[in-house]
Amino acid sequence: MRVKIVLSVLLINIAVFISLADAGSLSKVFQKVNPAVVMVLTTERGHSDLHAGQEVTFEKGGLGSGIVVSQDGLVMTAAHVVQVADAVVVKFLDGSMVGAKVVGSAPQADVALLQLNHLPDNLVVAELGDSDSVNVGDEIFVIGAPYGVDHTLTVGYMSGRRHPEVVCNSLLPIEFLQTDAAINKGNSGGPMFTMDGKVIGIVSRILSFSGGSEGLGFAASINTATELLFKQGSVWTGLEAYLVTGTLAKALNVPQDAGLLIQRVADDSPGQRLGLRPGNIPAEIAGKQLLLGGDIVLEVRGVTVSAALEHTCEIRKKVAGLRNDNLEMKILREGKVIDLAIIKGGESIESD
């Protein structure tokens, strides 16, 4: 009996020692990787009709997180944080702030790439891991800025791998990593790490009925992010659009079955250089908050906008191959069909 008691006490002491060792190890890993984590602050134009029906334009701020991934100042974040941002500023652990511009975006995977306007002193770069090597049940941690409380660490487990249905066969299959680590507004774009400090995901969104963390968080796998942003070189358009079809398309006098109603156009984006005009009249249609009055895209590089899946995939393919080619669109503006184009060198052309 005495031997059993001694063995039990010994096992308990070993377990406590391992637990304390793990805690100390995580603290050291956190201190090592934390300087590579950043807060992403954005501004964009907003519209309101709250004052006697008169439109009011204002600036609104956005908040997210990010991770430095290269010595030349590339930062990964979530696409929804920066897709239509007019200005982006990255805030570092020491409080310094550096402007940045979006250089790549893959909204289908909710990942984007920023380029810092200049390199701060002592830039710390995170090490990218292999998300395929992580298993369900492995412990992970997340660092971000929930509700603006920057450099907050939360710990959890990888709860699952999710593969959303890919509607276009030519597109890379997208993978999201599910976790029960606490994730809230402001965490979007922040890194998910293995316990040895390697980035395996970029935080995307949470599934929540309360608005707060309920243990259902999702991060785009780092393998998906690197494939889309580095190998395929996903292009940032700076556009947010809404597909209008059916009776809504008819009500807006769209001369075909469908069109893309431009909602927002980011400053200094390909969409702005093309000359696209965003909506500026807030309206609620069938429970959906929309901005009316903007351009409606009818055709992109010779492909007609349609509700048909094959047309959507063809447009995505053509936009993804923009890099050094011309960009042409046919749009509906104030009842007139207009051709817009950007030719090589960045010059824009508008014609009826």
Looking at residues 98-119, what average pLDDT do you find? 95
Distance of CA 164 to the CA centre of its chain: 16
Q: Are 224 and 174 in contact (CB under 8 A)?
A: yes
Among 80, 105, 131, 234, the active-site one is 80
Weakest mean pLDDT among 75-79, 155-159, 189-193, 299-303: 299-303
Q: Are 238 and 272 in contact (CB under 8 A)?
A: yes
Q: What is the pLDDT of residues 54-71, one digit of tens each?
A: 555 566 889 999 999 999
Q: How confident is the model at residue 286 (pLDDT cuts 50, 70, 90)?
A: confident
Tokens of 330: 């046919």
Average per-residue pLDDT for the chain: 85
pLDDT at 52 over 50: no
Q: What is the pLDDT of residues 238-270, one digit of tens each?
A: 999 999 999 999 999 999 999 999 999 999 998
Q: What is the pLDDT of residues 155-188, one digit of tens each?
A: 999 999 998 766 565 556 789 999 999 999 899 9
Q: What is the pLDDT of residues 125-134, one digit of tens each?
A: 999 999 999 9
Task: Sketch out the chain's domains with CATH numbers.
Answer: 37-116 (2.40.10.10), 128-231 (2.40.10.10), 239-351 (2.30.42.10)
Residues 6+ apart with CB under 8 A from 168: 309, 312, 313, 316, 317
* pLDDT at residue number 135: 96
pLDDT at 22 over 90: no
The reply to whether 188 belongs to the active site is yes
Among 65, 159, 188, 204, the active-site one is 188
* pLDDT at residue number 57: 58
pTM of the model: 0.84
Beta strand pairing call for 198-206 and 217-221:
antiparallel
Residue (of 216, 213, 225, 194) closest to 79 by Cα position: 225
The residue type of 118 is: H
Q: How confident is the model at residue 313 (pLDDT cuts 50, 70, 90)?
A: confident
pLDDT at 328 over 50: yes
Q: Are 259 and 249 in contact (CB under 8 A)?
A: yes
pLDDT at 349 over 90: no
